[in-house]
């Protein structure tokens, strides 16, 4: 099936999932939407995040996607079930895959979760983790200052290091061996988060598990693209495209042919 997979996020964060989808499903075409004009989603209300997610899904319908990946934890926390009830195609979120990966890894039974205010407030990770392992100890922390750093391409500065230390340095006193990067923007900061947390704590990103879930669904339903397809991906950002393009190219690698980013005046949004 040669329809694309639609991947959406508030900005560049979902590219961390897109890269993994490209790696695991090299013949699938991706249409990526980053809502950079309205990022960050973290401080917004559940109603607003749900509305924005609906608008993006409606916009992406013109590409006739065969699957939607909500590559945003905040949207997944607030809008996954809503979107599933509105469309007929499979909709994959990022929270359950991340929780599965953490439970699969932890030996101490203590897992950390960092995410946006919205994601942490929603309790979605606690719920997903406890469904898998009721006795798990969970330490959650909202990190509102991380997403702006990433959207500005500020991945490795001393300012970034300081912000990370101040936000999550105190988590080191817990016996956690796994830290869920519960925001798809955070893998961009993984190097520095790893330096702050130390090598005993494995950083868990949901990208890998999410792509695996997408692949399993497409495989089981006979919707995988044929092996001869060499896809040309499409990237759309609702805001100023320059920084989006710089970050996308750095993250996805030069070898990937990026179609020029189309900046749409999304009046409906």
What residues are labeled active site?
72, 183
Q: Does 13 bind ligand DGL (CB under 6 A)?
A: yes
The number of helix segments (H) and strand segments (E) in the chain equals 11, 10
Q: Does 9 bind ligand DGL (CB under 6 A)?
A: yes
Report the Cα 132 to chain-centroid distance in Å.
21
* Binds ligand DGL by CB under 6 A, chosen from 4, 34, 40, 93: 40
Shortest distance, position 135 Cβ to ligand DGL, whole Å: 27
Residue with tokens 């993984």: 190
What residues numbered 148-207 form the site for ligand DGL, per CB under 6 A? Answer: 183-185
Q: Which of 141, 144, 142, 111 is nearest to 128 (CA)?
A: 111
Shortest distance, position 49 Cβ to ligand DGL, whole Å: 9
Task: Please state the φ and ψ torsions of residue 240, each to the nearest 5 degrees.
Answer: -60, 125
Number of residues that this document lists for the chain:
269
Q: Does 98 bind ligand DGL (CB under 6 A)?
A: no
183-204 b/e with 16+ CB inside 10 Å = b?
bbbbbbbeebbeebbeeebbbb
* Binds ligand DGL by CB under 6 A, chosen from 50, 53, 116, 160: 116
Q: Does 42 bind ligand DGL (CB under 6 A)?
A: yes
Q: Does 74 bind ligand DGL (CB under 6 A)?
A: yes
Contact footprint for ligand DGL (CB under 6 A) = 9-11, 13, 39-42, 72-74, 116, 119, 147, 183-185
């Amino acid at each position: 099936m040669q329809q694309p997979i639609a991947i959406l996020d508030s900005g560049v964060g979902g590219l961390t999932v897109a890269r993994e989808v490209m790696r695991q499903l090299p013949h699938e075409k991706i249409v990526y939407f980053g809502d950079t004009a309205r990022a960050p989603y973290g401080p917004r209300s559940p109603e607003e995040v749900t509305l924005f997610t609906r608008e993006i899904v409606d916009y992406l319908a013109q590409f006739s996607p065969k699957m939607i990946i909500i590559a945003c934890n905040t949207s997944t926390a607030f809008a996954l079930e809503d979107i599933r009830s509105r469309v007929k195609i499979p909709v994959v979120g990022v929270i359950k895959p991340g929780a599965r990966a953490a439970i699969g890894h932890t030996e101490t039974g203590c897992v950390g979760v960092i995410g946006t205010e919205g994601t942490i407030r929603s309790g979605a990770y606690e719920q997903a983790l406890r469904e898998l392992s009721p006795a798990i100890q969970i330490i959650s922390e909202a990190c509102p200052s991380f997403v702006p750093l990433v959207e500005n391409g500020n991945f490795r500065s001393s300012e970034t290091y300081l912000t990370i230390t101040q936000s999550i340095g105190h988590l080191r006193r817990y016996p956690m061996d796994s830290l869920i990067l519960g925001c798809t923007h955070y893998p961009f900061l993984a190097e520095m988060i790893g330096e702050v947390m130390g090598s005993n704590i494995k950083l868990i990103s949901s990208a890998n598990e999410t792509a695996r879930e997408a692949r399993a669904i497409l495989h089981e339903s006979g919707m995988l693209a044929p092996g001869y397809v060499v896809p040309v991906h499409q990237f759309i950002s609702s805001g100023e495209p320059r920084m989006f393009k710089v970050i996308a190219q750095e993250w996805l690698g030069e070898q990937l042919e990026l179609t020029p980013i189309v900046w749409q005046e999304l009046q409906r949004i």
